[in-house]
Amino acid sequence: MSSRRARIVRWITSWYIRRVDVRNADVYKIRKRLDFIGRLLIRAFGVRVERTTIAGLHAEWLRPKRAPDDKVLLYLHGGAYVIGSCRSHGQMVSHIARAAGIKALVPEYRLAPEHKFPAAIEDCVAVYRELLASGIRPENIVIAGDSAGGGLTVATLLSLRDAGDPLPAAAVLLSPYLDVTASGESATTRADQDPWFRAEDMEVVVSNYCDADEVRNPLVSPVFADVAGLPPALIQVGDDEILLSDSTRFADKLKAAGGTVDIEIWPEMWHVFQLFIGKMPEARKAIDKIGAYVRDLYTPAESSNT
């Protein structure tokens, strides 16, 4: 059973989010709402924030104490491709960076509906390439993202693979949004359990982000992609969210293609519950697991060189 604090957070946030009429909402007001939630959270102790520009985009570095200069967590924020920013996600990412012991970069890619598909993917690819150009080795980069940021993470990996770019060490996906067609069974089986979303809301995302004939494009809905050759991945997803099938189907595809994937399905948790780090123990446990996963990527190599 989820903790009492988690049940309280679930009720408060679901009440707050359900007040928004997604179909008729002003996107600028929704952006302010998500940024407001982010301001209620606390940055991880000892993590310094540095504002910067990369690939022409505003971004923030989140630097834990004693984090090495040669390793980077490139974090792509979520928000259905239309909302999200350093303000909404920076606090959570600071905790992930501290748990992993490496610095994190959060770029503010272009948002829809002002900039539709493939603008956000182009931005994320450009940021990754600029990191390489700065001297960061691909094996020292982990790309991570939540919700639509998880979709962008996979789309970025697919774009880099197809272009012949060197791929990062791994990917970390938090409740990734990988199927804008909402064709997974959890869109139905979790409809009464998900405190945040309804399957019909996905139609609004599609209308904002891409044309109707692009919904099965592998870069828009990576569950339909050829995933051969992608790097190892960690997936965390809540058992109560309608996007659960996005994660389970994608994990199955990675395994079938010979890839390596660890998938964690968290009981009674909802979409990107990790956002509420400091408010409930489940978020802390999940982020600690992400940190351990990233640290383990580098520990064997570093040990063998000593």
pLDDT 10s digits, 125-152 = 999 999 999 999 999 999 999 999 999 9
Q: Which of 94, 147, 175, 186 is catalytic?
A: 147
The C-alpha torsion from 89 through 90 and 93 to 99, rounded to 10°, is: -140
Q: What is the C-alpha to C-alpha distance for residues 33 and 38, in angstroms, rounded to an integer?
A: 9
* Closest listed residue to residue 105, CA positions, set 116, 121, 89: 89
Q: Which of 60, 89, 241, 247 is catalytic?
A: 241
* pLDDT above 90 for 101: yes
Q: Which of 77, 89, 95, 271 is catalytic?
A: 271
Percent pLDDT > 90 in the chain is 82
Could you tell me which residue, 176 or 38, shows the higher pLDDT?
176
Instruction: Kindly state the average pLDDT of the residues 233-250.
Output: 98
**Confidence (pLDDT) at 39:** 81
What's the whole-number average pLDDT of the chain? 93
pLDDT 10s digits, 177-197 = 999 999 999 999 999 999 988
Q: What is the C-alpha to C-alpha distance for residues 47 and 65, in angstroms, rounded to an integer?
A: 6
Clarify whether 122 is annotated catalytic: no
**Among the ranges given (9-18, 38-47, 91-100, 108-117), the one the predictor scored with the smallest mean pLDDT:** 9-18
* pLDDT above 50 for 47: yes
**Confidence (pLDDT) at 111:** 97
* The amino acid at 16: Y
Q: What is the C-alpha to C-alpha distance for residues 10 and 3, in angstroms, rounded to an integer?
A: 11
Place of tokens 């059973």: 1
Half-sphere exposure of 221 (CA within 13 A, CB side): 23
pLDDT band per the 50, 70, 90 thresholds, residue 19: low
φ, ψ of residue 262 in degrees (nearest 5): -115, 120
Q: What is the C-alpha to C-alpha distance for residues 112 and 125, in angstroms, rounded to an integer?
A: 17
Clarify whether 147 is annotated catalytic: yes
Which domains, and CATH codes, for the chain?
4-304 (3.40.50.1820)
Clarify whether 271 is annotated catalytic: yes
- For helices 86-100 and 27-39, the axis angle rounded to 10 degrees is 40
Instruction: Kindly state the average pLDDT of the residues 105-127.
Output: 98
Kindly give the residue spans of alpha helices, DSSP state H, lying in 4-118.
4-18, 27-39, 86-100
